[in-house]
Amino acid sequence: MLTRTTSSATPLLQELAARFPSNFVWGVATSAFQIEGAAVEDGKGASVWDSFCRKPGVIADNSDGQTACDHYHRWSEDLDLIASLGVGAYRFSVSWPRVRPGGSGAWNAKGLDFYERLVDGLLARGVTPYLTLNHWDLPDELQANGGWADRDTAYRFVEYARGMAARLGDRVASITTHNEPWVMSVLGHESGIFAPGVKDRATAMQVSHHLLLSHGLALQAMRAQGCQAKLGIVLNLAPLQPATDSAEDKAKTHLEDGLLLRWYMDPLFKGAYPADVLAHLGADAPHVQAGDMAAIGTSMDYLGVNYYSRGVVSAEGPWDTKNSGLPLTDMGWEIYPEGLTELLLRLHRDYAVPPLFVTENGCAMPDQLVAGQVQDNGRIDYIYRHIDAMAEAMRQGVRLDGYMVWSLMDNFEWAFGYEKRFGIVHVDYASQVRTLKHSALWYRDFLQHHKHVHANLLAAEA
């Protein structure tokens, strides 16, 4: 395993860094609900996640986002931390109920000012802001009117997108409409393990359609008002493999791939939902109005891909990741970097994709803070191997423009509360002290190698 102190690490890192062009974007990522806290401060409205956390038994440690990493108050110190890593980019999300508490109606000046400070603070530190509009924290008032199951929410989202683009579109590099629509649809409305906790497949599929529709309409609206930021969406994707060679496992794998990947990629890039999935859904298929598919297919400037692991599919039921003997993260997810190469190649081959970004990649590990240090060698190895997997995809022709580690710091991991730690920076939630884990130091070293490699190449050419 590669550690920060492995003596052979430097040539390895130099060699890896040299496989990425000088303008490759390296970053770290977070989302509003997971880090901000200040849940009822400065006029912020409630989100579906604020309400969901109050339901008994839905969050593993009974926690919530009231304080989280207290980033709303510590943003300046956190931006210093980000800049100290040497990253070029920071991917964050705006809390819709912080800037427009009811989802429609009055805007909240104090909430908007917070994101102004954040964006200007990043730029002042030489870090480029990458903004996401919807990382799951829908205003609760909109949920009361049906939430994403109601087509009207798509129109409210377009207003929100226009407002944020008008305010920040001149200073952020990109605006992502939605983060992981599959999660909001399926985990939020079919299994109900995420907010808003609905358990109905037809509703989930309608939600997915409204998310995609609102994405396309928002892109059109932001472009129409002259927004200069690059516009796109972020999907959580994984290559799926059958557990065995049986016809049943293969058929189930094809269907699951349809529900996870093709359900989003086909309408975005091919103008239609996949026919086999529509047939499978039957009466649960979403209602689609004339013109919707054309709106969804509005061209994008980039596609964000969040990659954590592969999926193994068995017709007999859920696959236990312990079966394959691969190392697992603290989430129980298999560590499978070659899946990232496979996934990127597949997107490149099957779809006319715009430039790709890996907008999330990282792992929860059972970190221990000992004498002020977190020796998370497993995370270093994970990140190293996934960067290597990206380089391989690029070698085979994929246009990949950037990579963001999930996550900058430990934070509220949704239904797992604060029990799972994804950060390269450790957060002591009692004191809110941040400590760079060894993975953060390693990433910083790697980024320095990347800069030096290209500086040396330039010098050699001069």
Residue 277, SS3 per DSSP:
helix
Tell which positions 148-207 bind ligand IFM, by CB under 6 A: 180
Per-residue contact flags (x/-) with ligand IFM for residues 205 to 244, judged by CB under 6 A = ----------------------------------------
Which residues, including other chains, have CB under 8 Å from residue 63's CB and lie 6 or more apart? 53, 412, 417, 418
Task: Please name the residue ranges forming H helices in 7-138.
Answer: 9-17, 32-35, 48-53, 71-85, 96-99, 109-124
User: What phi, psi does 406 have (nearest 5°)?
Assistant: -100, 110
Tell which positions 406-425 bind ligand IFM, by CB under 6 A: 406, 413, 422
Q: How far is the CB of 30 from ligand IFM (least distance, A)?
A: 9
Tell which positions 286-345 bind ligand IFM, by CB under 6 A: 306
Q: Which of 180, 190, 334, 413 is catalytic?
A: 180
Residue 141: active-site member: no
Q: How far is the CB of 419 from ligand IFM (least distance, A)?
A: 12
Instruction: Pick between residue 20 and residue 148 the one whose CB is nearest to ligand IFM.
Output: 148
Cα torsion 71, 72, 73, 79 to 10°: value is 50
Q: Which of 141, 190, 360, 413 is catalytic?
A: 360
Rounded CA gap, 385 and 337, in Å?
6
Rounded CA gap, 9 and 5, in Å?
7
Rounded CA gap, 323 and 337, in Å?
18
Instruction: Pick between residue 344 and residue 409 the one whose CB is nearest to ligand IFM.
Output: 409
Q: How far is the CB of 93 from ligand IFM (least distance, A)?
A: 9
Instruction: Pick between residue 140 and residue 360 the one whose CB is nearest to ligand IFM.
Output: 360
* Closest C-alpha to 311, from 358, 381, 260, 354: 260
* Residue listed under structure tokens 């899946």: 339
Q: How far is the CB of 33 from ligand IFM (least distance, A)?
A: 8
Rounded CA gap, 357 and 24, in Å?
10
Which residues, including other chains, have CB under 8 Å from residue 462's CB and lie 6 or more apart? none
Q: How far is the CB of 88 from ligand IFM (least distance, A)?
A: 21
> What count of residues does the chain have?
462
Residue 36: active-site member: no
Q: How far is the CB of 413 from ligand IFM (least distance, A)?
A: 5
Q: What angle do CA 243, 244, 250 make, to 5 degrees?
A: 85
Instruction: Pick between residue 249 and residue 334 the one whose CB is nearest to ligand IFM.
Output: 334
31 binds ligand IFM (CB under 6 A): yes
439, burial (CB in 10 Å: exposed 0-12, middle 13-18, buried 19+): buried
Instruction: Pick between residue 414 and residue 446 the one whose CB is nearest to ligand IFM.
Output: 414
Per-residue contact flags (x/-) with ligand IFM for residues 389 to 408, judged by CB under 6 A = -----------------x--
Binds ligand IFM (CB under 6 A): choice among 78, 292, 360, 381 = 360
Instruction: Pick between residue 293 and residue 440 the one whose CB is nearest to ligand IFM.
Output: 440
Quick one: which H or E segment has residue 349?
A: helix 338-350
| Backbone φ/ψ region at 146: left (φ over 0), alpha (ψ -120 to 50), beta | left
Q: How far is the CB of 184 from ligand IFM (least distance, A)?
A: 10
8 Å CB contact between 149 and 210: yes
Rounded CA gap, 211 and 188, in Å?
13
Instruction: Pick between residue 65 and residue 258 the one whose CB is nearest to ligand IFM.
Output: 65
Sign of CA dihedral 61, 65, 67, 69: positive
Number of residues engaging ligand IFM in binding (CB under 6 A)? 8
Q: How far is the CB of 422 from ligand IFM (least distance, A)?
A: 6
Instruction: Pick between residue 133 and residue 453 the one whose CB is nearest to ligand IFM.
Output: 133
Q: Which residues bind ligand IFM (CB under 6 A)?
A: 31, 34, 180, 306, 360, 406, 413, 422
* Catalytic residue numbers, as ranges: 180, 360
